[in-house]
Amino acid sequence: MDEENGNQELIDRIRAAEIAVQQAEGQLEEAKSVAKGAKDKFDLRVKQLREVIREIDQPALPFKGGEKWQDAIVLELGLSDGVVTKLADAGIETLGELHTYLKTKTLTDIDGIGAAAAEKIQDALETYWAEHPEQCEQEECNEPTSE
C-alpha cells in the first residue's frame, strides 16, 4: 500500500508539473505575440520616419554636421529600408563611414548584402555623386567603391 501511495504522489507531482509547464507555455506564447506586435509597430514607425526623411526637400537637413559628403546619411542614397538596415547593423550610417569601410572590405562582406544589393549601393553612390557634385571636391570621394 505504501508503494501505491508513493506512486500516486509521484503521479500527482508529475501532473502538477505538467500543468505548470502548460501555463508557462501559454504565458510564453502570449508574450511572443505581444513582442511581435511591438516589433511590427516599431518597424512601421521606422519605415514612416524614413519616408518622411525622404520627402524633405532641404538638402542641408540630411547632414549631421557641416555640409561635407562624409556626413551625408546613407538614407539619402534612396536604398531600400532593408539595405539601409543592413548597413546600419554593420555600423555604417553615413557616406564617410561607408567610404572608410570600403577601404578595407567589400560591400558583400556585410551580412545580408549580396552581389545584387552591392550593385544597387554602387549605382546609388554614382547617382548621389552626379546629383551632388559640390560635395565631391576631394579626390577620395571619386574613388571607386568595392563590391
Residue 55: per-residue pLDDT: 61
Residue 65: per-residue pLDDT: 42
Question: Rounded distance, CA 36 to CA 34, Å?
Answer: 5
H or E, element range at 115: helix 115-131
Question: Rounded distance, CA 28 to CA 95, Å?
Answer: 42
Q: What residue type is assigned to position 132 of the chain?
A: H
- Cα-based torsion angle of the residue sequence 135, 51, 75, 79 in order, rounded to the nearest 10 degrees: -110
Phi, then psi, of 86 in degrees rounded to 5? -60, -40
Q: What residue type is assigned to position 47 of the chain?
A: K
If the chain, 147 residues long, is cut into consecutive pieces of 10 residues, what is the mean pLDDT of each piece?
Answer: 80 95 94 88 78 56 54 87 91 89 90 92 87 62 47
Residue 115: per-residue pLDDT: 92
Residue 29: per-residue pLDDT: 93
